[in-house]
Structure 1
Amino acid sequence: MSLGNLHVIKQSNKVCSASVIFLHGSGDTGQGLLNWVKFLIGDAATHPHIKFYFPTAPLRPYTPIQGELSNVWFDRYSITPDVPEHQETLESAGEAIKNLIEDISKKDNVPLNRIVVGGFSMGGALALHTAYRFVPGLAGVFTLSSFLNNNSALLNNAKHLDIPLYMCHGDRDSMVPISWGQKTYRDLTQLGIKADFITIKNTMHELKKHEILGLYEWLQKIVPLQET
């Protein structure tokens, strides 16, 4: 699977000592998510030592919209937790993000334990599979308005349970109801994963300013500025 365009928010310091890969939701692009983050928090989107990467999912047929092409990380049989995951496209996406992480680690000279992966909605689901199945040793993972299906391959094949998890979800989300996100949280914590679940009040399937600022605060704890 070949990724689309990759967009970046560079660190303000000369040296990048940590990297964050932020995966967009279905039908969006890396540029679209970057613009959304900048719209919400402005200059605060630039961090002193963390470089943010916003990759773009490839155009692929997407079953929930009758097989029309869309920028999605993987296909889905339906937008519900009760259906199986589309394993072929999910595995392909996981391999592509694994390769991206390896490239970023080499290019920025940043070890895996200084790299965080996360995402919004579908992007968050892929981030979970990436951190707990495909790439050992990451610093952390975050999900915003995200999910896992009930019989997710992750729940049966999780390998790297020591990676901390940060989850946010809007209490008025009608596309991915908060009950779905809460069940995902319970399923993951029952595996032994240490996770925080933050309810975003009066919020639908969207990002909010205080949600992103809270995420940035968490990132500073997970990959703090290192003394030189």
Structure 2
Amino acid sequence: MSATAPESEYAPTQRTVPTRGRDRAAYDRALVHAILDAGYVCHLGFVRDGAPVVLPTLYARVGERLYVHGSTGSRPLRAAGRSDTGLPVCLTVTHLDGLVLARSAFHHSVNYRSVVVHGTARQVTDPAERAVALDALVDQAVPGRSADTRPPSARELAATAVVALDLEEVSAKVRTGGPNDDPEDLVLPHWSGVLPVRQVLGPLVPADDLAPDVAVPGYLAAF
């Protein structure tokens, strides 16, 4: 299944249309990018030796492509380096925004923003693209950080693998709002509502061996 979509959206496919909660699915590029750009860790799923494997790892988005960080000794990343096939993967990013407490156990839920990406990952071997990807992975944590660090050495580059995954089969899913209690449960004497969940950064903790005359860079001033 495939559908024609405007440039501002990803085209739905059989793998990106959910079987449940279709009203929460979205294919808007700006929404997908915003969810991806707000995260730090993705979960990369693939099949190894006939069994499913899901690994948490760092990622970054550059345009319509995701870069995922790993070790050159990793079997899945070696598989992604096969130019003939690459590695079929499913990548997910999720933000938990709230715990939804209903009057009934059945209607308890969570508020969240998530993105699911299907595709074939390939290992990045071009030196120029690797440099862009590695800078993006550092800047995903703190924008501007890659320009304020020592570049990787030849030995470090040899030990680091980066795989690329194009944003083609993509969907977002979002839940907001309060509990969906059944009408007959509204009279029950149980508290109902949302407990918001927020991610907080800071304050900064300097390294024990940091020289006292090293100033906090401007891109960290907000923390």
By the TM > 0.5 criterion, same fold?
no
Larger radius of gyration: 2
TM-score, length of structure 1 as denominator length: 0.20
The alignment's TM-score, normalised by the length of structure 2, stands at 0.20
More helix by share: 1
RCO greater where, 1 or 2, for CA within 8 Å and sep 6 or more? 2
